[in-house]
Amino acid sequence: MNRSALNRFIAIAVLLVVTVVAMIVAKPRIGTAKEQAKTQSADTATDPAVVTEHQDETETPDTEETEKTDDEAENDYILKETDAASSEYLDRIVFIGDRTIGNIEYCPIPELPRISQQVWSLDENASVSKAIVADTFLHPVWMENVSFITAIKDIAPPYAILTFGSYSDGEGYTRDSLIKAYSEFIGHLISASPNTQIIIQSILPVGKGCPIVSSEQIAERNEWLKDFCKQNHIYYLDTYSALVNEEGYLRIDFYDPDNIYSGIQNYTMNYAGYSQMIYYVRTHVHPSYVPQTPDTSE
């Protein structure tokens, strides 16, 4: 064996010896690390405090974020207070409902000079479901009784505020029946006039002692409507909150309990009440509304 080959052999042998020694020294350490890992894993799995602490650290931020998002979404569908719009905004609206909203026609409200053309109502205290099939809405131009579908298809107003009271069909009054009726009514409205923006106004309050409905029932049904608006991305006009007293009844200055209507005490609003309602409409404008700017070009 020449000298060069011998040197290579010696170098390889030394490398092998060093490697074997290193493995022998490291083996106990590796075993110890594995045992420590097993012990820590067992302790973590059996210690409730560790699990709870870990879950709290990872889940609490997510829960708080979800609650914050829900809180923000809770009011997205309720029309917010705005600067008072001009009568130009009101002029784009039609009010559709039963006699509760129809009575506004007897109130000379300056902001609604075309009130007879903007209020489409039934003469009777009809439910929403009856309004779908009724043909007794007075057409604002033809001055003939038609269905609301015919009228809205012909006029196609930019905005429609729906205001129906708490009248049922004599088959009871439930959340499901109200939501179903509103869903069908709005479905027909959208089919007839797809560009009309829909606003659902709260059921209007009545005076204390009204035999038809109580303040608790109206408050409950308004919550149903709020939830319906939220689920269907329809704007809700909470006029109710601006008209009631601390008991949930119509404020005394907004109705006259001695007023007699068709031989029955009238528990609905007077001129002051409807004026307040219109003011609320003006100060809670639909977000899609863009005021028309006057043409200043020569």
pLDDT at 284: 97
Instruction: From first to last of the 298 residues of the chain, give the pLDDT tens digit.
Output: 555 555 666 666 656 655 555 555 545 444 444 444 444 444 433 343 333 333 343 344 454 445 545 555 657 899 999 999 999 999 999 999 988 888 888 888 888 888 888 999 876 667 888 888 888 888 888 888 899 999 999 999 999 999 987 666 555 678 998 899 999 999 999 999 999 999 999 999 988 877 778 889 999 999 999 999 999 999 999 999 999 999 999 998 898 665 544 444 556 788 899 999 999 999 999 999 998 765 444 4
- Which residues contact residue 51 at a Cβ distance below 8 angstroms, ignoring those fewer than 6 apart? 44
User: Hey, what domains does the chain have and what are their CATH numbers?
Assistant: 3-74 (no CATH), 87-282 (3.40.50.1110)
Helices 175-192, 148-155: axis angle to 10 degrees equals 40
pLDDT at 188 (0 to 100): 95
pLDDT value for 143: 84
User: Among candidates 204, 162, 203, which has minimal Cα distance to 186?
Assistant: 162
3-state SS class at 265: strand
Encoded amino acid at 143, one letter: M
